[in-house]
Amino acid sequence: MTAQPNRLRRNALASVAVAALVATGAAGVGLTQPASPAYAQSLSKNPIETPDHPPGSFASVVDKVKPGVVAVKVKLDDSADADDEDGPGQGQGQQVPPQLREFFKRFGQGGPGQGGPGQGFGMPKRQGQRGAMGSGFIISADGYVVTNNHVVDKAKSVQVTLDDNRTLDAKVIGKDPKTDLALLKITEGGTFPYVSLSKSAPRVGDWVVAIGNPFGLGGTVTAGIVSARGRDIGAGPYDDFLQIDAPINKGNSGGPTFNVGGEVVGVNTAIASPSGGSVGLAFAIPAETVQAVVDQLRADGKVARGYLGVQVQPVTKDIADGLGLDKAKGALVDHAEAGTPAAKAGLKSGDVIESVNGTPINDAKELSRKIAGIKPGAKVELTYLRGGKSDTATVELGVLPNDTKVAGNDRGSSTNGQPRLGLSLAPASEVGAGSEGVAVMEVDPDGPAAAKGIEQGDIILDVAGSSVSQPSEVAERVRSAETSGRKAVLMRVKNAKGITRFVAVALNKAG
C-alpha cells in the first residue's frame, strides 16, 4: 500500500554556505603579512589539538550491533485509557520546564490508526485493537531485553521482532518508572545476539549511532553527536540525560544509542519537538544508570534505592554568601527527620553536604541521584560544612519508601469519573518531610494543582478543612468536595521554606 503523504514526508536538506573572515584589519582589508615570530613561537609551544576525524562510514558498527536491536510490540491492558493510544506520557510533560512543556513529547507509542505504523503501511486497525510499539536491545545471550517503562507499561502481552524478522514472545521481568526503564525476557529458549553497555561516559561531541523502530520502520539507523550531558528535563526525580542530535522519532523509545566502538551509551527516551518529529533534541538515559537499574531488575524484579532522610535545597549564590562559602555548590539540609539515617548520623538543618564517598556534589538534585543510586544498607561517607568548618559522617542508608500513592490516578489522569489533582503523593513522615501532612512527590505540569502553584516538595496539611496524613485521605476529601457540588477544593499547603498558604484547586473530572 502506498504511504499517505501526510504520514511520511521527505525532508530536503538545505546546503548553507558559511563564510569565515580571518584576521581582518581596521579598514576591512585582509591581513596578508606573515605572523609575528612571537605568535609563531606561541603556537609551537601550545599547538591546537584537532578533534578525531569522523568515520568515513558507520557501516561496520551497524553490522556489528544491529542484530542485537529489536522492535517491541505491546498489546495494552484493558485498563489503559484512551490517552495511552497517543503515546505513553505524550502531553504529560512530567514537570517539564515551562519553556519546554509545549514541545516535550514522549514517543514510544505508535499504534495502528494513531499516527503510527498502521497508517499507510498496510496495517489497518482492527476493531478493539489497542497496542504500542517501541524499541529495545538484547543484553545477554539468553535473551534479556532492555526497553523503556513507558513502552511496556500496562502491557497485556509483549512481543519482540529480531533483526532476522523472527517475532518472539517476551515477558516483563521488572519496571522502574522513576528512570523509565524496563527489563524483558524472551520466553523462547536459545542463544541470541546481544550488545554491551559502555563502562565509560561519552564526551560531548562524540559520534553516536541510534538504531530503532521509528513509526514501525524497524532496523532504522541514524547518526549524530552527543550534544550535551547531565540534562534535567523534568521527566523524573533522577534526570541525568544525554542529549543527542541523531534523528529520533516515535517508536525509537527504548532503543539504543551506540558509540563508534559498538557499545550502548544510552537508551533513547524522550524528544523535545514542536511537531512530535525529530528536530535534533533527543534525550537518552546514560549507560551507567541503565546498568545499575537493570542489575536490580534482573535480580529482584524491582529497584530499591538508598534513603538518607533529609530535605535539601540548592545552594544559591545568596545562600553561599550568607554561609561564607566561596562557591554556590552543594546541597543545603533544610531538615533531617528524626529516626532517619541522616538524623542518626548527626546531620542537622543548615549543614551543606559537599561530597558523597569523595565525589563532589554540585546541587540538591545531584545528591538525590547519588544516594538513590546506592543500595540500601550500604555505608557512605558524607563530607559537609557546618559553621564554616568541614566535617565527615558515615551514614548507613535506609530504603527509599516506594509506596507512593496518587491522588486521583497516575500523572494526574483520572478514571471512573473521579476528580483528579495531578499530584503524586506520599506520607510526609515516610519520606523524611516532617511529621505531619502529605508530601507532594511529583506534579503533572498540565494538572489543576500545578496551575495553582503547587510544587514538588510542598506539604499538604489540610484538605477541605480537615488535616491529612495519607494520600488516601487527600483523595477522599477531594471526592467528597466533588460529590457536594463544589467546583474547587481548599487546601492548606506548606512549601519548602516553611511558608503556609491556602490554595483553591479546581476539580477536574474524567470525561
User: Catalytic residues, which ones?
Assistant: 150, 180, 253
Cell of 421: 489533582
Q: Are 250 and 115 in contact (CB under 8 A)?
A: yes
Give me the sign of the Cα torsion angle 324, 325, 328, 334: negative
Cell of 193: 545476539
Q: How far is residue 378 from each of residues 396, 437, 467, measured CA to CA in Å?
A: 6, 29, 36
Which residues lie across from 504 on neighbouring strands? 490
Q: Are 99 and 111 in contact (CB under 8 A)?
A: no
Q: Are 82 and 91 in contact (CB under 8 A)?
A: no
The region that residue 93 occupies, defined by phi over 0 for left and psi between -120 and 50 for alpha, beta otherwise, is: alpha
Between the two ends of the chain, the Cα-to-Cα distance in Å is 36
C-alpha span between 270 and 276 (Å, rounded): 10
- Taking CA 93 as the corner, what is the angle to CA 130 and CA 87, rounded to the nearest 5 degrees? 15
At 223 the three-state DSSP class reads strand
* Of 411, 419, 427, the residue nearest 468 (C-alpha): 427
Q: Are 24 and 30 in contact (CB under 8 A)?
A: yes
The region that residue 113 occupies, defined by phi over 0 for left and psi between -120 and 50 for alpha, beta otherwise, is: left
Q: How far is residue 70 from each of residues 166, 218, 255, measured CA to CA in Å?
A: 10, 8, 8
Q: How many helices (H) and strands (E) does the chain have?
A: 10, 30
DSSP per-residue string spanning 299-347: HHSS---EE--EEEEE--HHHHHHHT-SSS-SEEEEEE-TTSHHHHTT-
Give me the sign of the Cα torsion angle 399, 403, 405, 411: positive
**For 40, which DSSP code?**
H
Strand 256-259 versus strand 264-272 pairing type: antiparallel
C-alpha span between 425 and 142 (Å, rounded): 39
C-alpha span between 220 and 260 (Å, rounded): 17
b (16+ CB within 10 A) / e for 148-174: bbbbbbbbeebbbbbbeeeebebebbb
At a CB cut-off of 8 Å and minimum separation 6, what does 380 contact? 306, 356, 357, 371, 374, 394, 395, 397
